[in-house]
């Protein structure tokens, strides 16, 4: 019976042996490593571009208060000077197909409109 030390040393010997791979596989691994490096550098460049665009957007904005989250929160629908009210009645599901009700499309549409209304300069009140 072998001792635990011998079994541990034999398992490390298997790991230490270089596994022989073909030149084609070596080339593929090298290409993949280069691809990963390019991805990382490209992500960094994209982030830098995005930051620069954001800074430019802040500089060129007419109304600075609408660009920040605090500014958007203070631009409430209740405080709006717009007297138009938008109401979406969701009670007509009996007239809709089962497919239309089950799909997330109506909900997604309502969320999209709500976002557009909230970001408007004078947001009208939206009732569901």
The domains of the chain are located at 64-127
Paired strand residues for 86: 126
pLDDT of residue 75: 59
Give the number of other CB atoms < 10 A from CB of residue 1: 4
Q: What Cα–Cα distance (Å) separates residue 68 from each residue in 80, 83, 128?
A: 18, 25, 27
Q: For residue 37, what are its two tokens?
A: 């490096």
Helices and strands: H and E segment counts in the chain: 5, 2
Q: What Cα–Cα distance (Å) separates residue 60 from each residue in 39, 64, 115?
A: 31, 9, 23
pLDDT of residue 107: 72
- Would you report the helix, strand and coil content of the chain in percent, each value rounded to 5? 65, 5, 30
Give the C-alpha separation, 55 to 71, whole Å. Answer: 17
pLDDT of residue 102: 72
The pTM (predicted TM-score) of the whole model is 0.36
Q: Tell me if 128 sits within 8 A of 82, measured CB to CB.
A: no
pLDDT of residue 119: 72
Q: Per-residue pLDDT tens, the chain, 128 aa: give them.
A: 555 555 555 555 555 556 789 999 999 999 999 999 999 999 999 999 999 998 888 788 766 655 666 666 665 655 666 667 777 777 777 777 777 777 766 677 777 877 777 777 666 666 66
């Amino acid at each position: 019976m072998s001792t635990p030390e011998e079994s541990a040393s034999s398992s490390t010997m298997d790991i230490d042996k270089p596994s022989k791979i073909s030149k084609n596989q070596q080339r593929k691994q090298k290409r993949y490593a280069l691809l990963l490096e390019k991805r990382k550098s490209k992500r960094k460049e994209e982030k830098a571009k995005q930051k620069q665009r954001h800074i430019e957007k802040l500089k060129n904005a007419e109304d600075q208060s609408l660009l920040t989250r605090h500014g958007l929160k203070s631009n409430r629908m209740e405080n709006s000077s717009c007297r138009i009210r938008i109401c979406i009645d969701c009670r007509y599901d009996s007239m809709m197909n089962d497919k239309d009700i089950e799909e997330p499309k109506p909900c997604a549409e309502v969320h999209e409109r709500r976002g557009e209304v909230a970001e408007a300069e004078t947001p009208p009140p939206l009732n569901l």
